[in-house]
Structure 1
Amino acid sequence: MEEVSTCLPVTEDVAWLNVDEAAEVGRVRRTATNLAERLAFPATRVAEIALAVTEIGTNLNKHASGGQVVVRSVRAAEHAAVEVLAVDRGPGIADIELAMTDGQSTTGTLGLGLGAVARSADRFALSSDRGRGTVLVARFHPHAAARLDDDGATAGLTRAIGGEEQCGDAYAVRRSGNRVTLMMCDGSGHGPLAASASREAVRVFCALPPGPPEEAVARLHEALRGTRGGAVGVADVDRSAGTVRFAGLGNIAAAVVTTARKHGMVSVPGVAGYQARTIRAFDYELPAGAAVVLHSDGLTERWSPQDDLVTRPPLVVAATLLRDAGVRRDDAGVLVAVAP
């Protein structure tokens, strides 16, 4: 039987919003509810999202340092979801279990109303590190029958350079049985032309038949001719075999990460669409419980696994890495696959 590969739901990071003042909480709420309305959510669900997002934004403003909310759309063939991600550099939550109890407040980052937010969301995750900050993820479906078909083991996050509305980094994920294939593209430069190149990489990648990552990179190299071009990386993750095969062209960083170490994967020099003297793939072991991380050069490579980071949900991992390592003034993108 011919192997079938399908792209997982497409995520769009609609807006990154700073929450430094109380007035900005309203802007976060309006952004989330406007997105829900555009996605044809029922009015009652829009109202629930408004309450949850107001709670999230209010607590960021009261307790956090450098707090931001990301409003995202997650689209599949038949359904869509609204995803809200809160990230901060606050003091962290001392007792998450207590903070989730109704009526409790803490001096940490998101200590009020977390239980209500979790109950209204269809998917909820919270991670907090003392002295470093908190990450919260809440996904809202329009109704119970509209749950998206994703495996919950992969997630990505992008952030445009300051002053640009479009991010030049993009990613896509394909699934085929126990295999997951990750693709990250960093379009050359910034702005609309870089974003156009990375969107073309996503389109071509999702249309490719199953095959080794070096072939996918070669196809992407040809497809990006006539665009700005960019760096691309493709990782074929075989969970059942405990291996990952990676091919990269340009400065896409890739690593197999455990709780104890980070093992970098090799990307060869070049620019997809312009220059590729050779395209090679390399094989690596994928230990039980390890994560595969791809990111653009908007993140410094000088990060290391901390605590139990790779045991957390993939979007929490991506947001934590972007917060802590996304220190360069550039577009930034992170893609993570963790053990299901």
Structure 2
Amino acid sequence: MGAVNPVAGDETEAEDVVWLRLDVAVAAAARREAARLARRVGMAPARVAEIELAATEAATNLQKHARDGALALRVITLRDRAALELLSVDSGPGMADVGSALTDGVSGSGTLGVGMGAIARFADVFDVHSLPGRGTALLARFWSGDAPGPFPGADEPEVAGLTRPISGEEVCGDTWAARTEHGPDGAPTVTVMMCDGLGHGPMAALAGERARAAFRTGSHRSPQDVVRTLHTELRGSRGAAITVARADFSRGTVEHCGVGNISAFVVSGDKRGTLLSLPGIVGHQLPALRSFRTALDPGAVLVLHSDGLSDRWSPAGLPGLFTRRPAVVAAQLLGQAGVRRDDAGIVVARADRR
């Protein structure tokens, strides 16, 4: 997940995620796993120590404040740079004043109140969204090397996703991938794929891996062409539900082609437009494919997710969420709409905020 040019583009795709559920040992587990991943990408010892502290603080915050929640730890890469990413998701009680919670010395539990402030100071990228009474999603990203991002002066990618396996499984049948290309004016065009391998476990995950590999090496013409290519690559597998969407943020359009039960939406303000999908199974029963084109207003956000998330959420019920970074949008939607009886996957894209 290459230099920026209109041919290759920036590749991003689903990463292996270490999920840590809220329990009495979550702080120790978070510290250990964060250190392991940071060392794996060559972080300096001093940076590893900061990451260990941030992960411990995030886990301790869950223990002190959350009714239920989890931490997700993963390594992401972009343009030959790697970062450790920490996401915290909980189901409440949420924060009425996020700004105060970030101020050292302010605490809702009688402690010193340095947790969130310390995480924000140590992280190269920090973002948080909270719904009072319902839950909080927090992002902390720590880039390797000396520069605080993929390379000095660069904007970070405005596409991110998150997957979570069904309870009892180690691997997830849901996966995603994206390619971002920039035109002469710098405006991005993002082609996004969301894939839900049929069933659960290793065979579903294998279908997802094959789809992701085919997307990575494909020519990325129209979404319809990409789906047809994926159909060929998935023959002999369990098959999958797949939607591919190409969002041109300079022209204000999104073209998409979907087969199966992937939910896809364009969110603009408090409104949500649904992108249609056709019945069928990619790799087995492909219908006569059609591409659809939808308007993409300035500031709009593209959301694709599997049926591991309920599609009953609404932007109006998630105030302020769709102005946050895509990783926070993905985490909060997974926390608020995810169902534990199924694999879950979501990918979110938006134009950068320069």
TM-score, reference length from structure 1: 0.94
Root mean square deviation of aligned Cα = 2.0
Q: CA deviation at 1:3?
A: 4.5
Aligned with 1:266: secondary structure?
A: coil
| 2:260 is aligned with 1:250 | yes
Q: Is the 8 A contact 1:10 1:75 kept in 2?
A: no
Going from structure 1 to structure 2, the CA distance change for 1:5 and 1:267 (only over 3 Å counts) comes to farther
Instruction: Indicate the residue corresponding to 2:7 in structure 1.
Output: 4
Q: 1:210 to 1:14 in 2, by over 3 A?
A: closer
Aligned position for 1:292: 302
- Which residue of structure 2 aligns with residue 260 of structure 1? 270
For residue 291 of structure 1, report the CA deviation from its aligned partner: 0.7
The 5-angstrom pairing of residues 51-62 of structure 1 reads: 51-62=53-64
Q: Secondary structure at the match of 2:144?
A: coil
Query: Contact between 2:14 and 2:175, CA under 8 Å: does it hold in 1?
Result: no
Matches within 5 A, 1:164-203: 164-177=169-182, 178-203=188-213
Write the distance in 1 (CA, Å) between the matches of 2:159 and 2:218.
Answer: 19
Which residue does the alignment assign to 1:161? 166
Cα deviations across residues 196-243 of structure 1 (Å, max 9, x unaligned)? 111111111111123110000000011111222101110000001111
2:311 is the counterpart of 1:279? no
Q: Which secondary structure does the structure 1 equivalent of 2:314 belong to?
A: coil
Shift of residue 111, structure 1, vs aligned partner? 5.5
**Dislocated runs of 4+, deviation >4 Å:** none
Aligned runs of 1:35-46 on 2, under 5 Å?
A: 35-46=37-48
Larger CA deviation: 190-199 vs 4-13? 4-13
**How many matched pairs?**
338
Residue of structure 1 in register with 2:185 after alignment: none
Q: 1:6 is matched by which residue type in structure 2?
A: G
Partner of 1:232: 242
- Alignment match, 1:20: 23
Whole-Å separation in 2 of the counterparts to 1:107 and 1:263 = 41
The letter for the 1-side match of 2:321 is L
The 8 Å contact of residues 93 and 111 in structure 1, kept in 2 or not, is answered as no
For residues 45 and 83 of structure 2, what CA distance do their matches in structure 1 show?
A: 14
Instruction: Give the equivalent residue in structure 1 for 2:51.
Output: 49
Helix, strand or coil at the partner of 1:203: helix
Aligned-pair distance for 1:96? 1.6
Over the matched positions of the two proteins, sequence identity in percent amounts to 49
- The alpha carbon displacement at 1:11 in A equals 4.3
Separation of aligned partners in 2, 1:229 and 1:267: 16
How many Å apart are 1:148 and its aligned residue?
Answer: 2.4
Give the AA of the match of 1:324: Q
Unaligned runs of 5+ in 2: 183-187
C-alpha deviation, 1:189, in angstroms? 0.9
* Alignment partner, residue 78 of structure 1: 80
The residue matched to 2:17 in structure 1 has which SS? strand
> 1:323 aligns to what?
335
C-alpha distance in 2 between matches for 1:226 and 1:79: 36
